[in-house]
Amino acid sequence: MKVVVTGAGGQLGREVSAVFSVGEVELVPLTSADLDITDARTVMARLQAEQPALVINAAAYTAVDACEDDPAPAWGVNAAGAWHLALACRELGTTLVHMSTDYVFDGTLSRPYTEFDATAPASVYGRTKDAGEQLVRDTLDRHYIVRTSWLHGRHGGNFLSTMLRLGRERDQVSVVNDQRGCPTFADDLAQSIAELVGTGAYGTYHRTGSGSCTWFEFARAAFDRADIAVQVLPITTEQFGAPAPRPANSVLENTKANLLGLDSLRPWEEGLDRFLAQLEDQRG
């Protein structure tokens, strides 16, 4: 079976490529330099040449704040890019896995979001991801849309890597304490995608680490486990002052995966321990 991974140079794409490069799979990892998914003709030609049985779209424009002032790149990658892949997959009879996000919700619910809740994105980034979902659903029957939240991996930049660096550089850091979500680690998510594809049950799914916390609680746990002595101050989203609105509640309930009998992803605390161990291994 041939599997194409777009966004293969990112923190999720690299983990997905590792999970799927086993057994009888012929893996074709494509970075943004290898394939510009915003170009419909290029996408169609490349997938026609490859003839994959499965495409996993891990490509995304994730500069959430930059989207507010310059939305064009996000619409190009997150919406049009997803559509171009879906159109090519429909032409070839190929299955598509498309990655999405908690930002398709506005975060105002007082309970976790399920796959059955209506989307209501509050940011430009969220709107582009929501549009990408809709275009995939409207275009291609053979699809899995996988929403995740607070993604972290050993490859690439993320909140944890930034916090660990700041904690070593400063005596004090301020972290938002009124946003709650489910930290998810890229290697766990990649494995769960493989399990989901194996079910043949197309549709939209939430796949996140088990449990939830605030960014403040997440950072404090990371500093404690990494033995970094730094004062962590809780602040509000308003005090942080980011240009783009963030969901206050990003907790995603993995309802449909549970109904299928799929295993839950490991608790975020265990994922954090593994992440820190991976960073230590990388440092040698």
Task: Show the tokens assigned to 50.
Answer: 């490859």
Mean pLDDT of the region 108-124: 98
Distance separating alpha carbons of residues 220 and 60, to the nearest angstrom: 29
pLDDT over threshold 80, residue 208 = yes
278 — pLDDT class (breaks 50, 70, 90): confident
Distance separating alpha carbons of residues 11 and 195, to the nearest angstrom: 19
pLDDT above 70 covers a percentage of the chain that reads 99
Mean pLDDT of the region 74-101: 98
Q: What is the pLDDT of residues 217-274, one digit of tens each?
A: 999 999 999 999 999 999 999 999 999 999 999 999 999 999 999 999 999 999 999 9
pLDDT above 90 covers a percentage of the chain that reads 94
pLDDT over threshold 90, residue 195 = yes
Residue 239: the pLDDT is 96
Q: State the CB neighbour count (10 A cutoff) for residue 158.
A: 18
Q: Domain-by-domain residue ranges, the chain?
A: 2-158+182-212+250-267
- Among residues 36, 54, 56, the alpha carbon closest in space to that of 46 is found at 36
Mean pLDDT of the region 13-17: 97
Task: Show the tokens assigned to 116.
Answer: 């059955």
Give helix 215-226 / helix 159-169 axis angle, nearest 10°.
60
20 — pLDDT class (breaks 50, 70, 90): very high
Q: How far is CA 253 from CA 88, 118, 150, 271, in A?
A: 31, 14, 14, 18
pLDDT over threshold 70, residue 196 = yes
Mean pLDDT of the region 81-91: 98
Phi and psi at 118, nearest 5°, equal -70, 140
115 — pLDDT class (breaks 50, 70, 90): very high
- Among residues 269, 256, 260, 216, the alpha carbon closest in space to that of 113 is found at 256
- Among residues 102, 97, 64, the alpha carbon closest in space to that of 82 is found at 97
| Superfamily of 2-158+182-212+250-267 according to CATH | NAD(P)-binding Rossmann-like Domain (3.40.50.720)
Fill in the amino acid letter for 276. L
Phi and psi at 174, nearest 5°, equal -110, 135
CA 245 vs. chain centroid, Å, equals: 18
Strands 213-214 and 180-181, by their bridges, are: antiparallel
pLDDT over threshold 80, residue 193 = yes
Distance separating alpha carbons of residues 230 and 171, to the nearest angstrom: 5
pLDDT over threshold 70, residue 32 = yes
Distance separating alpha carbons of residues 169 and 154, to the nearest angstrom: 20
Burial level of 244, CB count in 10 A (0-12/13-18/19+)?
middle
Q: Which residues are catalytic?
A: 125
pLDDT over threshold 70, residue 284 = no
pLDDT over threshold 70, residue 129 = yes
Mean pLDDT of the chain: 96
